[in-house]
């Protein structure tokens, strides 16, 4: 089984920038946002000529890409899907003229299947899903941060349950970009003992190195 990591966070929290430390020779980047990556020189690292970069918002296509890379590109050790939320919004907008609950069932099925199938790929493959987060408050004012989804059905299924590691990207008050590795009013989680502190630098390669034995 492959390793699944979810990186969630608000816009500008350093989610995409954290991927700058990954080795492009071993990484395949699926750019669903279509706005390019967040660091200087990324176009030389990830492009169609190197066959490690693809733009699509079609969730079944992304699922098919993941399976194909797992089976036919053994040199690829990491796949990044950035962001899955854009795919959900794209599906919702294109289904606006459809009536009934069918469109929500399709969206839920597509997203759930994509993550579930990703977790069934070869053992040496890590798949990182980048997602937006949302902070909700209950009637008592308690704030809780979780993955943002489209549709109540998907929200109730709790996508985080499919991931072994969920990191919350944050910008601190002193302008540092970090990952929260354990729940602190959020759905962040990681294997016990993988990280020495609850907050670490937003360095994705360092995260992969720490999770190598898990």
Q: What is the CATH number of the domain that holds 191?
A: 3.40.50
Q: What percent of the chain has pLDDT over 90?
A: 71
Label residue 70 exposed, middle or buried (CB < 10 Å: 0-12, 13-18, 19+): buried
* Mean pLDDT on 105-126: 90
**Spatial separation of the C-alpha atoms in residues 40 and 90, rounded to whole Å:** 28
For residue 103, what pLDDT is reported?
53
Token pair 């194909």: residue: 68
pLDDT in tens, 17-46: 999 999 999 999 999 999 999 999 999 999
Q: How many domains does the chain have?
A: 1
Domain span including residue 43: 3-210
* 91: its two tokens: 């599906």
Structure-model confidence comparison of residues 61 and 136, the more confident one: 61
At 111, list the tokens: 């997203």
DSSP annotation of 11 reads T
Question: Which pLDDT score, from 0 to 100, does residue 152 have?
Answer: 66
Alpha-carbon distance 192 to 173, whole Å? 27
The residues, ordered by sequence, that sit 6+ positions from 119 with a Cβ below 8 Å of its Cβ are 1, 2, 4, 127, 162
Residue 96 has pLDDT above 80, yes or no: no
Of 34-48, 57-71, 99-113, which range is least confident?
Answer: 99-113
In the prediction, which pLDDT does 109 show? 83
- What pLDDT score was predicted for residue 143? 84
Mind giving me the DSSP string for 90-127? HHHHHTTT--SSHHHHHHHHHHHHHHHHHTTS-TT-EE
Judged against a pLDDT cut of 60, whether residue 101 lies above it is answered with no
Q: pLDDT digit string (tens) for 130-180?
A: 999 999 887 677 788 989 887 666 666 788 999 999 999 999 989 999 999
pLDDT 10s digits, 181-203: 998 889 999 999 999 999 999 99
The string over 14-38, giving b where at least 16 C-beta atoms fall within 10 Å of a residue's C-beta and e elsewhere, is: bbbbbbbbbebeebbbbbbeeeebe
């Amino acid at each position: 089984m492959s390793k699944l990591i979810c990186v969630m966070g608000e816009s500008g929290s350093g989610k995409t920038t954290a991927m700058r430390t990954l080795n492009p020779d071993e990484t395949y980047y699926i750019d669903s946002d279509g706005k390019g990556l967040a660091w200087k020189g990324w176009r030389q690292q990830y492009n169609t000529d190197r066959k490690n970069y693809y733009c699509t918002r079609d969730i079944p296509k992304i699922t098919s890409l993941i399976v194909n890379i797992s089976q036919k590109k053994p040199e690829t050790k990491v796949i990044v899907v950035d962001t899955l939320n854009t795919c959900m919004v794209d599906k919702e907008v294109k289904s606006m003229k459809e009536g009934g609950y069918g469109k929500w069932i399709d969206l839920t099925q597509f997203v759930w299947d994509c993550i579930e199938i990703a977790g069934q790929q070869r053992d040496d493959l890590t798949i990182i899903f980048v997602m937006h987060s949302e902070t909700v408050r209950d009637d008592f004012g308690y704030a809780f941060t979780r993955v943002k989804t489209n549709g109540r059905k998907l929200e109730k299924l709790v996508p985080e349950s499919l991931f072994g590691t969920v990191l919350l990207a944050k910008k601190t008050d002193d302008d540092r970009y970090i990952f929260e590795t354990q729940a602190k009013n959020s759905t962040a989680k990681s294997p016990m003992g993988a990280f020495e502190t609850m907050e670490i630098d937003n360095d994705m390669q360092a995260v992969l190195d720490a999770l190598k034995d898990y």
